Structure 1
Amino acid sequence: MPGRRTVVLGFLGAALDSDGRANKRWNRWRPTVGLCMQSDLLVDRLELIHNEGARDVALAERIRADIRQVSPQTEVCLHVMPLRDAWDLEEVYGALHDFAGRYPFDTDREDYLIHITTGTHVAQICWFLLAEARYVPARLVQTSPSRGTRITNQVAGTYSLIDLDLSRYDRIAARFRHERQESLAFLKAGIATRNAAFNRTIEHIERVAIRSRAPMLLVGPTGAGKSFLARRIHELKQGRRQLAGSFVEVNCATLRGEAAMSALFGHVKGAYTGALQAREGLLRAANGGVLFLDELGELGLDEQAMLLKAIEEKRFFPFGSDKEVASDFQLIAGTHRELPSLVAEGRFREDLLARINLWTFELPGLLARREDIEPNIDFELARFARENGQRVRFNREARQHYLAFATSARALWKGNFRELSASITRMATLADDGRIDEALVLEEIDRLSRGWHGVLSSDDLAGVLGQAVEHLDLFERVQLQAVLRVCRQTRSLSEAGRLLFDVSRQAKAKPNDADRLRKYLARFGLDWKGIASGG
């Protein structure tokens, strides 16, 4: 089986490849000829591109004749590429792109090199872009004159190959990995999240954020962090100098009727009653930046139609105006609703959903990420310290108690991470001497439980005791309600006993809190395990 052939593509160097004084040309380095004189690089075919002028054509023919003399096995194919301005990026890139589209690349039998030493700097940039995007399946080759003492060395020069597979360069690859990890950590605000599904989602968001300006849709329950993540995406892109504009956020649930049109698209003076002066609108304010539309599913159908036009055309009409205005923004939308269901109900435009559904990411609520509760607790404490200039910590037992409750089935976290943040802020604010103790934790757990389940009532007691509740005094009912609430907030019978008898136990040489509580509950035919499990 014959070996693979080496094919070189490159421009004729109008100056570097020039004959100069024809009888002296073999005493100087000419990059195109020198490339074909390398002892360890056999060029089977050279695709030489040149302009259409008579001088360029004559020089190309002379170079072909000289290569035939020093490397008879090299086939030289000449290609005329008319360029009005070889320094015009758009013209050069378009011409090379067309050339690549027509060229019959045969990667099964041939290896391709692009000679980047000749041609204008613009041509070299275009070659790089085409190779990096794989429009041209080639590596780059660069030649240079050598400092050898022999004439043959001076004429041939040297060459080096540049592989655009940057993953093969260990230091560059390591640097890219490090920068990517920094980007991921930034999107997560430095929180060492442990949920595998969420971490994969963040990895995908990071890739899309730095590579695309297409709309993004963040789906998740209220408090899952959609607004926070959208702002982080904007800051990440701004740090990469991909955006220069502002981050503009609006909750679509607050927009209704004419006010919605005006807020989003702006209005002209007199557009409606009360429009005493013109208004720019949020879409124009987001020009060059990010527009985050939270709760997009709440937006009216008319506003949805105008938003679709603004996304696709970057132009729209302010309310009451007959003149279009422009705004080039990236849209990030957030919603807790099932938009396809709203489409089926006729409450959301199908074409708008299709336009924003290219990149959809689901952000799970706190209950689906219980393993991330602990690192988020640390994040909230650190944020409290930054914002208030006071460092607060948990006592060891208090932290274990709170974490056990927060990760248990008893914690509903209806407000998700926003509710967790509020919980930590409350305890940190009330902590004396910068320490959150068990008493504060118990108080906070009681507050959260009452918010989710309500205060334990006589009806609840009836569900536990049945008709026997009718034989209890009000005093016994109130006391039993308090005991049951503590039992449902603790991890064990002993822990519940310690909290309930925390004063009287100090006077006992051998306190047996668990036994005392067990006997108390037995009076009503109850046990801690049944209560804690919701029975």
Structure 2
Amino acid sequence: MKPTVVIGFLGSTLDASKFGPSRWNKWRPSVGLTMHEDLRVDRFIMLHGRQHQRLAEYISEDIASVSPETTVERRLLDFDDPWDFEEVYGKLLDFVRAEPFDPDVEDYLIHITTGTHVAQICLFLLTEANYLPGRLLQTQPSRGAPSSGPGTWTTIDLDLSRYDSIATRFAAASAESTSFLKSGIETRNAAFNRMIDEIEQVAIRSRAPVLLMGPTGAGKSQLARRIYELKRLRHQVKGGFVEVNCATLKGDSAMSALFGHRKGAFTGAVADRPGLLRAADGGMLFLDEIGELGLDEQAMILRAIEDKKFLPVGSDKDVASDFQLIAGTNRDLARCVRDGTFRDDLYARLNLWTFTLPGLAERREDIAPNLDYELDRFAEREGSRVTFNKEARDHYIAFATSAKALWLGNFRDLAASITRMATFSPKGRIDLDCVKTEIARMKRAWVPDHTGDDGLDVLLSPEQRAAIDPFDRVQLAYVTKVCRESRSLSEAGRNLFSASLSRRASSNDADRLRKYLARFDLSWTHF
């Protein structure tokens, strides 16, 4: 067995007694913990102040008389104010850092029965944070037994997963948090659910910036707000939620909107303006489409993240604002860094916690539960409950989950679709005719009826299309058509490279397709 080391404060009240034989008629925790037959204490590190030097010596002598195998090491630890939390914690932390703990050689017990309440709390916090590599030890006099006995002792293991009832409650609380982040939607996509589990842990345990990537309409804005609301429910933020669409901030007004300005800073600045970063103080700032910001604004955002300070336009004095940042983008920021349109130092700062939200086409199994969610939102918004009849619902879901449904606008397309059908169903029931009309409307919207249209105009800008040779355009049009008709990148890769697959020992057709699409600034999220 490894030697056992107890660390604890001398009890200036509980350990004190008259200096005489009568002291053995009183339960004294520091002496009693060395008197247990089932608890061998090899070393006792006794913390005490200078004013209790004599008591410490006396208690050490008594311990030696009842437990000769226990070595008492007295450590002087003086506090100007033993009820000053900052002072007590700071000096205890210095003591812990200087102590040569070796958990592989010794077992440590942290005695929290003695000392002021502040000292006990600090010992608990240092143990919980693993600065003290041991278990908490509590002692108390035995009920109904002579007061002079050793009392009873018990340890507290701070690994809460060891306690079944507590672990069950934590699991339930965690499930509740992830459900909250999903707005209560019972999503079925395994990859998305794993990502939400990770976001839940990050949201609760970290204040570092979070980067949400994904195509427009994938739900970045809604998820950012739910992260904020989860942290607010747990009292981790006090301020508000400030959402900014960076794509709307252009030119000189961007600096003023974000960082504020002083009166007279420029023509039209007739009063001070605090700015959006200042409004987010104590809360959360969501910068959607952060890739649209200019390099100057990016530099100031970086400083605001790192120093919690920034300089308003026209001011020579910094303004402080402590907020947590969530950034959203549908751009490939790594490519933007290579192109020189996004600062590499800001990207490095944002890239600690990066999560890519899949588009609706990659989560077709989640369409049915999201359909119910959108109907609930419509009822809440309009005060009128609308439902599908069974035939209409089955027909809509069959189309929505098929390769014919492109979902170019992702969840925004779905929300708009449900809103239209609910609005055109004044009797409260969406029927089959309504569904068929809506499906035809969506098909027209996704694939415009242009003569000779190859589908590339909804994916590429006129400049991008003009830069493609006619030979390459025919090939690209066919590739994108296959992608639209496939359920996944892997399936599309297998369909496109099926002939060559039989002649190769191994392949990664998905990666091959991904690289091909990247030549035209396209990715699977576009489909």
Q: Which sections of structure 1, spanning at least 5 residues, go unmatched?
A: 461-488, 490-535
Partner of residue 102 from structure 1, selected from 82, 98, 105: 98
User: Which residue number corresponds to residue 283 of structure 2?
Assistant: 289
Within 5 Å, give how 1:46-445 maps onto structure 2.
46-51=44-49, 53=50, 55-150=51-146, 152-153=148-149, 156-445=150-439
The amino acid across from 1:4 in the alignment is: K
How many Å separate the matches in 2 of 1:314 and 1:457? 55
1:249, CA displacement in angstroms? 0.5
Please, which of 23, 26, 47 is the counterpart of residue 24 of structure 2?
Answer: 26
Q: Which amino acid aligns with 1:141?
A: L
CA distance in 1, matches of 2:280, 2:324: 8
Q: What does the per-residue CA deviation read over 1:35-94, in whole Å, with 9 as the maximum and x for residues that have no partner?
A: 11122211111111111x2x4121111111000111111111111123222222222222
Alignment match of 2:3 (pick from 5, 8, 19): 5
In structure 2, give the amino acid aligned to 1:89.
F
Residue deviations 1:366-400 (CA, integer Å, cap 9, x gap): 11111111110011111112222222111211111
Aligned letter for 2:167?
A: A
State whether residues 181 and 226 of structure 2, in contact with CA within 8 Å, keep that contact through their aligned partners in structure 1.
yes
CA–CA distance in structure 2, aligned partners of residues 151 and 296 of structure 1: 69
Query: What is the root-mean-square deviation in Å for CA atoms of aligned residues?
Result: 1.6
Structure 1 window deviating more from structure 2 (440-449 vs 34-43): it is 34-43
Displacement of 1:108? 2.3
| Deviation, structure 1 residue 458 | 9.3
Which segment is superposed worse, 218-227 or 162-171? 162-171
Percent of matched pairs sharing the same residue: 64
Q: Contact 2:141/2:147 (CA < 8 Å) preserved in 1?
A: no
Distance change in 2, residues 1:220/1:49 (3 Å): same
Take 1:319 and 1:327, find their aligned partners in 2: how far apart are those partners? 15
- Tell me the secondary structure at the aligned position of residue 334 of structure 1: strand
User: Does the 8 Å contact 2:239/2:280 carry over to 1?
Assistant: yes
Alpha-carbon distance, 1:152 to partner: 4.0
C-alpha distance after superposition, 1:180-202 (max 9, x if no partner): 11110000000000111111111
The one-letter code of the counterpart of 1:127 is L
- Kept in 1, the 8 Å contact 2:88–2:119? The answer is yes
User: 1:94 is paired with a residue of what secondary structure?
Assistant: helix
Asked if structure 1 preserves the Cα contact closer than 8 Å seen for 2:26 and 2:148, the reply is no
**What's the CA shift string for 1:251-290, capped at 9, x where partnerless?**
0011012110110000111111111111110000011000
Cα distance change, pair 413–13 in 1 and its aligned pair in 2 (3 A): same
Task: Tell me the distance in 2 between the aligned counterparts of 1:149 and 1:292.
Answer: 62
1:483 counterpart residue number: none
CA 1:458/1:78 → structure 2, altered by over 3 Å: closer, same or farther?
Answer: closer
User: Does the 8 Å CA contact 2:48/2:77 hold for their aligned counterparts?
Assistant: yes
Deviation at 1:150, TM superposition (A): 3.2
Residue 459 of structure 1 deviates from its aligned partner by: 8.4
Q: How many corresponding residue pairs? A: 455
Q: Which amino acid aligns with 2:8?
A: G
Q: Assess if the C-alpha contact under 8 Å between 2:280 and 2:323 holds in 1.
A: yes
Question: How many angstroms apart in 2 are the aligned matches of 1:459 and 1:358?
Answer: 42
Q: What are the within-5 Å matches in structure 2 for residues 451-530 of structure 1?
A: 451-455=445-449
Task: After TM superposition, give the deviation of residue 104 of structure 1 in Å.
Answer: 2.3
The CA distance in 2 between the partners of 1:314 and 1:264, in whole Å, is 14
Mapped to 1, the partners of 2:453 and 2:200 lie a distance apart of: 51
What whole-Å deviation, never above 9, does each CA across 1:494-523 have from its counterpart, x for those lacking one?
xxxxxxxxxxxxxxxxxxxxxxxxxxxxxx
Counterpart of 1:201 in structure 2: which amino acid?
M
CA apart distance, 1:432 = 3.9
Match for residue 495 of structure 1? none
Distance 1:458 1:292 in 2: 42
Amino acid at match of 1:347: T
Alignment partner of 1:39 out of 32, 37, 40:
37
Matching residue's letter, 2:143:
R
- The CA distance in 1 between the partners of 2:429 and 2:273, in whole Å, is 50
- After superposition, the Cα gap between the structure-2 partners of 1:37 and 1:437, relative to the gap in structure 1 and judged at 3 Å, is same
Question: Using a 3 Å threshold, how does the CA distance of structure 1 residues 412 and 18 change in structure 2: closer, same or farther?
Answer: same
The structure-2 alpha-carbon separation of the partners of 1:148 and 1:21, relative to structure 1 and needing over 3 Å to count, comes to: farther
Counterpart of 1:108 in structure 2: which amino acid?
D
Note if contact 2:6-2:109 (Cα within 8 Å) is conserved in structure 1: yes
Aligned-partner residue type, residue 193 of structure 2: N
Cα distance between partner residues in 2 of 1:173 and 1:223: 37
SS at 2:363 equivalent: helix
Structure 1: distance between partners of 2:448 and 2:146: 94
Instruction: Provide the TM-score with structure 2 as the length reference.
Output: 0.84
Q: Distance in 1 between matches of 2:445 and 2:42?
A: 79
> Equivalents in 2 of 1:266, 1:458: separation in Å?
50
- The change in CA–CA distance for 1:151 and 1:374 in structure 2 (over 3 A counts) is closer
Matched with 2:496 is: none
Q: Secondary structure at the match of 1:229?
A: helix
Matching residue of 1:497? none
Distance 1:151 1:29 in 2: 5
| Correspondent of 1:450 among 441, 444, 449 | 444
TM-score by length of 1: 0.83
CA contact (8 A) 2:246 2:293 kept: yes
Decide whether aligned partners of structure 1 residues 343 and 457 sit closer, same or farther in structure 2, where only a CA change above 3 A counts: closer
1:292-338 CA distance string (max 9 Å, x none): 00000000111111111111111111111111111111111000001
Unaligned runs of 5+ in 2: 455-484, 486-527
CA positional deviation for 1:98? 2.2
1:309 and 1:456 map into 2 onto residues whose CA distance is 49
For the residue of structure 1 that corresponds to 2:35, the secondary structure is: coil
Residue 20 of structure 1: how far off its partner (Å): 3.0
